[in-house]
Structure 1
Amino acid sequence: MGLFDTLRSVLGVNAEAGATRDADPEDLFGMSTAYVTMEADLDFVPAGAAALCFSAVDSTDFDAAVDEVETILHAGQEETGTEFYHREDDHGYHWVVLEDDDPEDLVTSVHFAADTFEEADFGSRLLAAVFGFVRPRDDRRAYWVYSFRRGAYYPFVPTGSHERDSRIEFKLAAVLDGELDVEDDESYWYPLWPDGDGHPWE
């Protein structure tokens, strides 16, 4: 199974079939307090970036929903300074990437984007919201991934080319469980490998 098929399976069809609860964009606001815990208890600070991953559909209504998302983010950019861009990766998935030093602004912007898709009846196209962190002492990156098909978060800590630090992932899950709705089935902790050395959306 190739990377494209695996991603579609884990964050898409299989995850939807095995869903234990409905996804809710309001869950994204849990990251507002998780940022504080990540820094105070785990020494990970916000990386100043987050992203929303979705799959497209050939539809004028869907195109209109994407345009509305970009219009909302443009308006927010003037108010909060949150920069954003929209890109399609090598596997055909789309990412709305947000950059801001204020984690509250990132959470709010990701929520606005996700909620806009939901209100336009395209919530089923949402795959994941990804929030980036970094540990200053060694530049170790960590991510919290919200799976819309599972309605839950899971940690992802890459250490190199297709390698991950499971020890740190379990520690993050243990500390944040209760503050976030952490996915209890580790088979759904899917690694979102970046194309290079950057973030998963790069």
Structure 2
Amino acid sequence: MGIFDTLRSVLGSRAEADAVSDADPEDLFGMSTAYVTMEADLGFASVGEAALCFSSVDSTDFAETVDAVEAILDAGAEETGTTFRRHEDDHGYHWVILADDDPEDLVTSVHFAADEFVERGYGSRLLAALFGFADERGRGGSGASASGTRTGSGATRERGPDRRAYWVYSFRRGAYYPFVPESTSERDSKLEFKLESVLDGELDLESDKEYWYPLWPNSPNGHPWE
């Protein structure tokens, strides 16, 4: 089974079989306060982007739905500042990427987009919502804040602005989990557990680590949706 077949299994069909609830975009509002905690307590600030991931959809109706969501967001862009783009990767997954420097506006726009897709009958195709963060500590490379953390391979990764962390919301499971990629194939489990402990009680977290599936970026400093 290939890596993206596994993704489909974990976030898609297998998660659907083990689903605890239907896709509920209301859960996304939990990120509004999580952004504050991530920056204040952990030193991770919003990268200004978030994304919705869909399983393969090959239909004119889906394309029209994406167009409709984009048109509505574009109409409100002057007020919210949210921009919209789409991407289909080499594995047939569709990404709707939203960008906004204001975390609250970003969460609101992601919620609107997800809710619109659910209302138009594509809730079963929604796999995950991803919210990206960048490490704001360690700039200058001095002091305790610049200390590294140990990766799964035993290497130490220095903290710095190129370091990325993500909160992934699984629509099928109705829960969040942290993901901290170190490269295109390694993750920082220690930091993921720290994020879990700090945000526990603030977000509805996935208790079954089997569902903490990695969504690897194509490049070490890239986002999974690129």
Where does structure 1 lack aligned partners over 5 or more consecutive residues?
Answer: none
% identical equivalent positions: 74
Q: Which string of whole-angstrom CA distances, capped at 9 and with x for unpartnered residues, describes residues 24-68 of structure 1?
A: 100000000000111111111111111111124333432332221
Tell me: higher relative CO, structure 1 or 2? Use CA pairs within 8 A at least 6 residues apart: 1
Q: Which residue identity does 2:182 align to in structure 1? A: T
Asked whether the equivalents of residues 68 and 116 of structure 1 are also in contact (C-alpha less than 8 Å), the reply is no
Is 2:186 aligned against 1:163? yes
Residue aligning to 1:81: 81
Alignment partner, residue 199 of structure 1: 223
Rounded Cα–Cα distance in structure 2 between residues aligned with 1:104 and 1:32: 6
- Residue matched to 1:115: 115
Which residue pairs with 1:15 in the alignment? Answer: 15
Q: Deviations over 1:81-106 (max 9, x none)?
A: 21221010111101111111111111
2:97 maps to what in 1?
97
Per the alignment, residue 44 of structure 2 pairs with 44
Q: Separation in 1 of the partners of 2:88 and 2:60?
A: 18
* TM-score, length basis structure 2: 0.86
- How far off is 1:73 after superposition? 1.8
User: Aligned partners of 2:25 and 2:99: how far apart in 1?
Assistant: 19
Distance 1:10 1:187 in 2: 8
In the TM superposition, structure 1's runs of 4+ consecutive aligned residues that sit over 6 Å from their partners are none
Moved more, 68-77 or 39-48: 68-77
Equivalenced residues, count: 202
**Normalising by the residue count of structure 1, what TM-score does the alignment of the two structures yield?**
0.95
- The Cα RMSD (Å) is 1.2
CA distance in 1, matches of 2:50, 2:34: 14
Query: Radius of gyration: which is bigger?
Result: 2
